A and B are shown apart, each in its own frame.
Chain A
């Protein structure tokens, strides 16, 4: 049987005259022949019991963690956390909130809106919204946004005050009503 295997494996099938002698078409390549007929491909050594076992076990554990992540509604198990993005129902007659960041620069009375992203203040709006209450309770955290802004905008005016704000749009049956209302959530004198 082994001899037959070896012979099959090294055999050049007919019809490959235009190819180099040792280069059969892949689908014609003969494999280990416990098959009754020459098979169409070769297979790597089959998985051992242990190899099969741990793969099943790891997949099962990961599935349990991922499933638990959904029911516990936690992102903490990343990458197996809950798939919460856009998962919360929004009321057609509710409000649409959007957190904003503004800075007051020297010599200006009105604060200037800044883009709320990593390129401007070092962090995305979504990141701050996910820990919004913490930032409101500890407005000194806005210092780090000011520091980032200063580092990312060398040679430009440095903000004197950072203002965390929120735009609220009222919905009525899914349509917006009136202009958005802006509210200040926290302020911080830049140090």
Chain B
């Protein structure tokens, strides 16, 4: 058994595969992945959304008090979404939590997923629509939108693969990678000359504005901080590699980015968790399903 699965094991599409006669692009873009992987990923995402709306993006309820500062984003203007009221925010919060719980454990999967996509989407417009737009939520919002397209996926479906599941996870992976890769592009555009950014004072600026006390001594070492800026540029630029590596390399890449975010969290209080959590889309999460449970019932054919 082991030999029959390991031969088909690649990190991005780690699945026991049937012969796949599609062209190379489709095999990459919509790989056949186990439905159990989506079931586990979905659980992680929906549980995280509950944590997110209560903590990271918990500013929506206070925003109910500051309607004058509402600066609706394009889609919110097109849809005519008005500034949020405190009561409206509380109702939205209740809906998100309820349907995230249902979606996480797999009840009314498609319906609950769609309702989360709509309500969490609205919540995002209310957390981002008051001036500052953070970009750490891009992959998470996209995950919430694409997950309902997979349809029914159960934890026990370790041996059942689906291209719909593969597409949804691939889209999340692409969003994660572009969060870094396009930020290099943006640095280039915003700074005119990318070397100005790398040789400049961005980290110094960030540390002065919001640095933790222990990180203040680094302000005396601008050379080190400039080196860190160059290193950041390099690995952000190389991030698309994660979409194409095979084998165990993906574990290293995921761990590397998680460590980077852990460091910026301790130094600057920037955790980037909504993106960090989406790195899970790169991993063979079906391995987390206890074998007994996975094989307790036959995967539906």
Given A19-B295, A43-B18: A130 touches B132 (CB 8 Å cut-off) = yes
Does B98 interact with chain A (Cβ within 8 Å)? no
Inter-subunit contact B204/A84 (CB<8 Å)? no
Interface residues of A in 62-80 (CB under 8 A from B): 62, 66-67, 70-71, 73, 75-80
Q: How far is the CA of A126 from the CA of B128 in the complex (A)?
A: 11
Write the chain B residue with the least CB distance to A13. B1
Does B248 interact with chain A (Cβ within 8 Å)? no
A84 neighbours in B (Cβ, 8 Å): 133, 135, 186, 190
Inter-subunit contact B26/A52 (CB<8 Å)? yes
Of the candidates B182, B185, B201, the one having the most CB atoms from chain A within 10 angstroms of its own CB is B201
Inter-subunit contact B135/A127 (CB<8 Å)? no
Inter-subunit contact B159/A83 (CB<8 Å)? no
Q: How far is the CA of A159 from the CA of B184 in the complex (A)?
A: 43
CB distance from B289 to the nearest CB of A (A): 9
Interface residues of B in 32-88 (CB under 8 A from A): 32, 34-35, 58-59, 62-63, 65-69, 71, 73-75
How many Cβ-Cβ contacts under 8 Å join chain A to chain B? 251
Inter-subunit contact A9/B301 (CB<8 Å)? yes
Q: How far is the CA of A27 from the CA of B158 in the complex (A)?
A: 8
Stretch in A101-109, A141-149, A181-189 with 4+ CB within 8 Å of B? A141-149
B67 neighbours in A (Cβ, 8 Å): 144
Inter-subunit contact B298/A31 (CB<8 Å)? no
Does A151 interact with chain B (Cβ within 8 Å)? yes
A83 neighbours in B (Cβ, 8 Å): 135, 138, 179, 182-183, 185-186
A129 neighbours in B (Cβ, 8 Å): 131-132
B68 neighbours in A (Cβ, 8 Å): 141, 144
Interface size class of A (residues with CB under 8 A): 35 or more
Inter-subunit contact A27/B4 (CB<8 Å)? yes
Does B189 interact with chain A (Cβ within 8 Å)? yes
B132 neighbours in A (Cβ, 8 Å): 124, 126-127, 129-130
CB distance from A149 to the nearest CB of B (A): 10
Inter-subunit contact A79/B196 (CB<8 Å)? no
Does A57 interact with chain B (Cβ within 8 Å)? no
Does B225 interact with chain A (Cβ within 8 Å)? yes
Write the chain B residue with the least CB distance to A169. B208
Partner of B190, one of A51, A89, A152: A89
CB distance from B141 to the nearest CB of A (A): 4
Interface residues of A in 1-31 (CB under 8 A from B): 9, 19, 22-29, 31
Given A76-B73, A79-B138: A41 touches B186 (CB 8 Å cut-off) = no
A122 neighbours in B (Cβ, 8 Å): 62-63, 65-66
Inter-subunit contact A89/B183 (CB<8 Å)? no
* Additional A-B contacts beyond A70-B189, A123-B130, A144-B67 (7; CB < 8 A): A23-B297, A35-B18, A39-B19, A47-B164, A78-B124, A89-B202, A92-B201
Q: Which residues of A contact B (CB under 8 A)?
A: 9, 19, 22-29, 31-32, 35, 39-44, 46-47, 51-52, 55-56, 59, 62, 66-67, 70-71, 73, 75-92, 94, 96, 98, 118-119, 122-124, 126-131, 141, 144-145, 147-148, 151-152, 169, 171, 173-176
A-B contacts, 30 listed (Cβ < 8 Å): A23-B298, A32-B18, A40-B8, A41-B16, A44-B35, A44-B163, A55-B149, A66-B182, A73-B189, A76-B74, A79-B124, A79-B137, A79-B141, A82-B182, A83-B138, A89-B193, A91-B200, A98-B208, A98-B209, A118-B59, A118-B62, A119-B62, A123-B66, A124-B132, A128-B131, A131-B71, A147-B65, A148-B66, A151-B65, A175-B222
Q: Which residues of B contact A (CB under 8 A)?
A: 1, 4-5, 8, 15-19, 26, 29-30, 32, 34-35, 58-59, 62-63, 65-69, 71, 73-75, 124-125, 128, 130-138, 141-142, 149, 158-164, 167, 171, 174, 178-179, 182-183, 185-187, 189-193, 196-197, 199-202, 204-206, 208-209, 219-220, 222-223, 225-226, 294-301
